[in-house]
Structure 1
Amino acid sequence: MSEEVAPTDGIEIRSITEGELGAWGDAVSRGFQRAGMPEALEFRRLRNYPGRTLGAFERDKIVGTLRSFPNELTVPGGALLPVSAISGVTVRQTHRRRGLLNRMMARELAGARERGEAAAILVAAEYGIYRRYGFGPATRADGLVVNLHHAEGLRADLPESAGRLDLVSMAELAKYGPELHECWRRSRPGAIGRDEAFWREATGTIEMPGPERKEPFAVVHRDAGGTVTGLLVYSVTDQWDGPNPDCVLTVHDFLALDTVTAVALWRYACSMDWVRSVSIASLAPDDPLPLLLNNPRAARPHPEQWDHTWLRVLDVPAAFGARTYAGPGRVVLDVTDRQGYASGRWLLQADVTGAGTAEPTSEEPDLAIDAAVLGSLYLGAESATRLAAAAQLTELRPGAAFATDRLLGTPLKAYNPDTF
């Protein structure tokens, strides 16, 4: 496995103390070019796990940061895989190119592997940084902007709800949201858990290191029995074209456990007075929203679509043994990993039930890939055939890329709506 790089210029990489949390938070804000942000110590404490909040110290000055916290990733089939969620990664501009990120990442990945976390995940601020640490883009945030004039409403033949919609307060959102999300995320590969810090940020009950928050609206859907089956969190921009309303409804969170619920919530959003367009920055790549509209062409791609969750496999047998597969099959992967965690030749095979394993083998390989590509393929959202066409993997047996896609394919595309 990878070893920590030797210290450079007398800079020490170590876990911070409780008393250093404020200075660490200030270093994160400065590293992201956001000087002057509030310390937000209460929020920082919620994700400050012993030994997992790292600082690069030059004497008493923090010049680099990285932290992680435990989470669970929903994998194909619904199992929850223990992962390390990495965030707050910065190096001060005056201390770049000194190997500080290498040292912090080496320490974190080694720690995650020792803790039994089979993978690490992060959201990459810059595309070009994390492939060298074995991370590959594994989910996308593919949003939509719906022009309501062109949409002409939702189709009349869609199933109608026998339940009801209710606007709720932020306190009620904190009550209903966690349980609803736990139900939702178990059906969507790529989803992660939402901790107390998430819900306190979402409901505005904690100071955040960022711009001033404007309280959104929240509406929940209840079925005929009164059970909450969906929620929509949104804000409306007070925007006018002269004397005519031209408002934009921006969706911040959308969860629906079934089609009836989704239809009810989207009909609500798309029929609001004054609103002329609905903007959803993050939506599953295979979400059926356009097909619910009378005119699907009215739903256009959001201008800020991008790769979202990046994934790094740390324990190949544990990670690939946790998920299920589209059907029986086998493929031998020859994996190159400069940090060593996924290196080797692996026989990935599944039976007719969808249960599978990844075991070391001496068989001839079908595909040659690196650790970053392994991370991209793991949840099934990326195609081996596409990566082969992009020269990101090497097909050593004709048809092996397609065979891999058939094995790793999923009914629902991997999707994670949450940053961290």
Structure 2
Amino acid sequence: MTQPAHAQHPTGSSAWAVPSAPQETLGLRPLAAADWDAWYDALETAFGELESPERRALWRGLTEVDRSLGVWDGAVPVGSASAFSFRMAVPGGELLPTAGVTMVGVAPTHRRRGVLTALMRQQLDEIHERGESLAVLEASEPAIYGRYGYGLGSWKLGVRAERARVRVALAGAAGGGEGAQGEGTAQERIGLRLADPARASAACERLYARQVPLRPGMLARRPGWERLPLLDPPGERAGHSALRCVLAQDRQDGELLGYARYSTSVRWRHGGAAGEVRVREVTAAGPAARAALWAYLLDLDLTDTVVAENLPVDDPLLHLVLDPRRLRPRLSDGLFVRLVEVGDALRSRRYAAPVDLVLEVADAFCPWNTGRWHLHSAGPATGAACEPTEAPAALELPVRALGSAYLGGVSLTALAAAGLVRELRPGALAEASAAFGWDTAPWLPHGF
């Protein structure tokens, strides 16, 4: 369908005529706080579901109204988009200001009229003006966002373990040097105790914050975001218990070394209990604490299944258990990454190997990125330079492929095999692929 023509208004809002209904005009404007309820109602309609009052209240409190947009058909909201002001870890550990694109929806009555394109256009322009070089999102429908320059940058691992057939090899986690020095192995110094999730939250958040720079894709939690991992509406438990929390501490000095948040259900069948452990989060500062937490989760009484939906694809659990096949691992898409300012984004991460080449980037939606960029880095111990150039290109790729490779979890070689990257100088693909890779897989720890 032909895209509608846009007309910019002095107020900062925009409107356009819908080709199929010339008498009708849709208006795009910033969200006013007083309109949040109607705007969010329209988002729920677009997604075909109603959220619990508790979840809705959380998102209302976290919404950055000044970063939220709506499309209105008269007095009725028919489209929405918002963004959160995140800081995200990139390869090398720097936390970059990043727009977390969220709450994107179009009313079913107004699809295929250019509403989404108008929202994405306005939003990316605003992100660019704010000086954020990256935008990220979770995709309800991944096929939608490639045309706006977003590439799949991380995966997530799900497991459904059979408790009776999976055991953690604790002896393999005896080392690690975590906690205070003293007699006994690191494993022997780990003590577990149950804690109220809310009361333990501050200590858990401090431990989480220390892990953020260690893995690309992790998000530093701003004030208020500590409520998200504690959200536990009774109507969403599906027969499970209230949220629980177990802490792994050093027996000698009480230092918090890890924690897990989970819930359980108890079901009975002929022959005994058939309960389920639903793991929401496992965070640990080292191998001994991690092993102790997983050993606990995989050995709870009256349960026979342990389910975790969001783990890194290189999660140590795969190597802690004696028979990883019994975890029944499966992959699903995680974070989609968009370079809003190519030069700044590429300068801001580290590279696993020396690299010196010119990238020719195509970006029809953000044309300021289109062109040749000279990327140079001496390796992971140094920073990088990336500037526009007229020199001959070594690699040619669209911005969405660059977004996929940016966090180090998607190989440029694999993207080239899919036809998304073209090598123009022999050897350039291997050089770039080695440099862009990273030894820790990227991972989005929670949704937004």
Q: TM-score range by the shorter chain?
A: over 0.9
**Are residues 1:390 and 2:405 paired?**
no
Shift of 1:36: 7.5
Q: Which amino acid aligns with 1:384?
A: L
Q: Which amino acid aligns with 2:87?
A: E
Higher RCO (C-alpha 8 Å, min separation 6) = 1
Tell me which of 82, 99, 108 is aligned to 2:97: 82
Q: Percent identity?
A: 30
Tell me which of 345, 357, 369 is aligned to 1:319: 345
1:112-164 per-position Cα deviation (integer Å, ceiling 9, x unaligned):
11111111111000011001111001111112222232224434343114132
TM superposition score normalised by structure 1: 0.93
1:49-82 per-position Cα deviation (integer Å, ceiling 9, x unaligned):
2431111111110000111110011001110010
Aligned to 2:179: none
Aligned to 2:372: 345
What SS class does the counterpart of residue 220 from structure 2 fall into? coil
Contact 2:167 2:295 in 1 (8 A): no
1:144-155 to 2 correspondence within 5 Å? 144-155=159-170
Q: Which amino acid aligns with 1:135?
A: Y
Tell me which of 174, 191, 194 is aligned to 2:201: 174
Contact 2:358 2:393 in 1 (8 A): yes
Deviates more, 1:222-231 or 1:255-264: 222-231
**Are residues 1:218 and 2:245 paired?**
yes
Aligned to 1:184: 211
1:320-349 per-position Cα deviation (integer Å, ceiling 9, x unaligned):
111111132222211000121421111111
1:336-364 per-position Cα deviation (integer Å, ceiling 9, x unaligned):
00121421111111114342121112221
- In the alignment of these two chains, the number of paired residues is 414
Task: Point out where structure 1 has 5 or more consecutive residues left out of the alignment.
Answer: none
1:99-138 to 2 correspondence within 5 Å? 99-138=114-153
Counterparts of 1:82 and 1:108, CA distance in 2:
15
Aligned to 1:246: 274
Contact 1:12 1:57 in 2 (8 A): yes
Cα 1:42–1:279, aligned 2, differ >3 Å: closer, same or farther?
Answer: closer
Contact 2:190 2:288 in 1 (8 A): no
Counterparts of 1:157 and 1:336, CA distance in 2:
48
1:350-391 per-position Cα deviation (integer Å, ceiling 9, x unaligned):
114342121112221121111110100111110111111111
Shift of 1:254: 1.2
Task: Point out where structure 2 has 5 or more consecutive residues left out of the alignment.
Answer: 8-15, 18-23, 175-186
Aligned to 2:25: 10
Deviates more, 1:219-228 or 1:22-31: 219-228
What SS class does the counterpart of residue 171 from structure 1 fall into? coil
Contact 2:168 2:291 in 1 (8 A): no
1:273-296 per-position Cα deviation (integer Å, ceiling 9, x unaligned):
122222111111111212212223
1:231-280 per-position Cα deviation (integer Å, ceiling 9, x unaligned):
11111222233131222211111111111111111111122212222211
Counterparts of 1:295 and 1:33, CA distance in 2:
40
Deviates more, 1:57-66 or 1:164-173: 164-173
Aligned to 1:358: 386
Aligned to 1:237: 265
Tell me which of 22, 25, 28 is aligned to 2:43: 28
Shift of 1:107: 0.9
Q: Which amino acid aligns with 2:271?
A: P
Aligned to 1:67: 82
Aligned to 2:328: 300
Aligned to 1:268: 296
Aligned to 1:373: 401
Contact 1:250 1:280 in 2 (8 A): yes
Tell me which of 284, 288, 295 is aligned to 2:316: 288
Aligned to 2:173: 158
Cα 1:173–1:13, aligned 2, differ >3 Å: closer, same or farther?
Answer: farther
Counterparts of 1:230 and 1:417, CA distance in 2:
15
Aligned to 1:336: 362
Cα 1:93–1:58, aligned 2, differ >3 Å: closer, same or farther?
Answer: same
Shift of 1:106: 0.9
Contact 2:170 2:291 in 1 (8 A): no
Cα 1:36–1:241, aligned 2, differ >3 Å: closer, same or farther?
Answer: closer
